[in-house]
Amino acid sequence: MPRGRLRIYLGAAPGVGKTYAMLKEGQRLRSVGADVMVGFVEPHGRQPTAALAEGLVTVPRRTMTHRGAAFTEMDLDAVLARRPQVALVDELAHTNVPGSRNTKRWQDVEELLDAGIDVVTTLNVQHLESLGDVVRQITGVPQRETLPDEVARRADQIELVDLEPELLRRRMLHGEIYPSDRVEAALTHYFRVGNLTALRELALLWLADRVEEGLQRYRAEHGITAPWETRERIMVALTGGPEGETLIRRAARVTARTPGSELLALHVVPSDGLAHADPAALTAQRALVESLGGSYHQTSGDDLPEALLEFAEAENVTQIVLGASRRGRLSTFLYGSVGHRTIRRSGPIDVLVVT
């Protein structure tokens, strides 16, 4: 039995319209003849969202008691027994009531997918496990419910539900997100413009990284080694010599002129393992790279141009920044400089030699 497909509507904050988008997709699928069922939807009292669920088959919730209080959860067994083509399941990171078969709702969703049922679900970026500490720094609010990033990364499709911070705050003021008695506190704390802007950027960056992972996986599966210029990646080659800081700053300026580009630094260690560079200089250069938002890497090899280009191809680098050779004229004439040999072999990768 083929596994079901998972689609996630990802949002930067509550109220951007994830549940509304999920239900709208359910209605669209139903209109083209798909067997769609609502496994669990939480409209949070928002009437337009609740109205969009009308006409869709809904599984009654399962009532459970915990510490003397009644709670409702998705009736997983009922959905599995009904076996719809598509199940709509809200709030993927939700923690189930103690006593449920699974601790987390994403585990319920895994069972549905294993049964061949497609699932459409929702998720806020602050619930991703890897971003928990960052979100707490931004908002001051710890996240009790988290989702392993790998669960979201395995999704067949993730769609960002985006809303400008000021528009989201207007929705809050109009009572479209929280009851009136919670609006003022929300606007002055979690829903401050700075918080919403930072959370929105987090969502965009996380999603961009996932797209990049998919692109790299596709290239590997199809044996594609030539760089695809979907995103500029500037790589600076470091020997540990005194020119390193100049090269790093030059590469950083090139990176800064290209929005969305990435800075990488690479030091090639001889395969014999013997140190031919000043460790203190490399440590300082690594710190400079990272302070400029780049990443530092090391690889091994005796043929420097070959090692540089192998790394560049693996990382989809689009431009390499090198220092001019310090060899004498005779040595350069006999053997060729690293820059010349790199340029000859670089193919579609641009090489900038800095004097």
Sequence spans of domains, the chain: 6-220, 233-354
Residue 324 banded pLDDT, cuts 50, 70, 90: confident
Reading the block at residue 190, the tokens are: 């979690």
Strand pairing class (36-40; 319-323): unpaired
- C-beta separation of 173 from 183 below 8 A: yes
d(CA 43, CA 51): 9
The string of pLDDT tens digits covering residues 170-215 is 988 888 888 888 888 888 888 888 888 888 888 887 887 665 555 5
The string of pLDDT tens digits covering residues 144-163 is 899 998 999 899 999 999 88
- C-beta separation of 243 from 278 below 8 A: no
Query: Residue range 270-287: average pLDDT?
Result: 80
d(CA 145, CA 167): 26
Using a pLDDT cut of 90, give the percent of the chain over it.
38
Phi, then psi, of 94 in degrees rounded to 5: -60, 140
Q: Indicate if 233-354 has the same CATH topology as 6-220.
A: yes
Residue-averaged pLDDT of the chain: 85
CATH number belonging to domain 6-220: 3.40.50.300
d(CA 336, CA 304): 12
Q: Return the closest-CA partner of residue 87 out of 104, 110, 63, 54.
A: 110
Q: In the chain, what are the helix, strand and coil shares in percent, each to the nearest 5?
A: 45, 20, 35
233-354 fold:
Rossmann fold (3.40.50)
d(CA 180, CA 171): 12
Residues 6 or more apart whose CB falls under 8 angstroms from that of 270 comprise: 276, 300, 301, 302
Sequence letter at residue 120: V
d(CA 73, CA 334): 76
The string of pLDDT tens digits covering residues 285-300 is 999 999 988 999 998 8
Higher per-residue confidence, 277 vs 233: 233
